[in-house]
Amino acid sequence: MASRKYGSGNVQSTACRMDKMFDYMEAWFFPGVVVKQRGAAREARVIDAVCAVVTGALLTLTVVGWVGLARVLLAFAFAVYVPGWAVVTNFMPKTRASRTALPVLISVTILTAAATFTLWLHAWHPLQLFDIEAGASIALMSVGAIRRERRQLHDEPLLRDGVRESDI
């Protein structure tokens, strides 16, 4: 990044300062900037993979009937994050904090609402409810992954992923 010395302080170029200022903030379109999807898409794919592994492992342990600490920890990880991430992955938030906190909030809300609703209907079957939640989570994460991969470069330009056309 280009920077110039003025007096006692180091004043960086406008592009560098803007890059730091709007790192994970609202998307902007600047003429002459080509957007490359790098970090956010890669991070989302890793989270998708981890959520799929947690869901698959928990489904396997449930079907086999294995009981133990691993199943408890996987159930906790699933209940706290996976259904919420399945929803959030379809509506990617702009800030890193909401990519962490929002799935937890949504996940706990969805699972509590589903359990409450099935109790009110006198249809409380926790394993079948988990099967439905796991299937819906995998389906929503798949839809989100497909949408993310099909997304055009100009849909959500982030300045930190921008490269000047002259640099290409």
Stretch 25-34: mean pLDDT, rounded?
41
User: Which single residue is written with the structure tokens 């509590």?
Assistant: 112
Q: What is the pTM of this model?
A: 0.64
What does the pLDDT read at residue 159? Answer: 54
The whole-angstrom separation of Cα 147 and Cα 86 is 13
What does the pLDDT read at residue 32? Answer: 44
For 120-163, write each residue's pLDDT tens digit: 999 989 999 999 999 999 999 999 888 887 764 445 555 555 55
SS3 letters across 62-104: HHHCCCCHHHHHHHHHHHHHHHHHHHHCCCCCCCHHHHHHHHH
What does the pLDDT read at residue 29? Answer: 41
Torsion of CA 100, 104, 107, 111, to 10 degrees: 170
CA 20 to chain centre: 21
Mean pLDDT of the chain: 76
For 41-61, write each residue's pLDDT tens digit: 778 888 999 999 999 999 999
Domain ranges (residues) in the chain: 1-37+157-168, 45-150
The whole-angstrom separation of Cα 30 and Cα 27 is 10
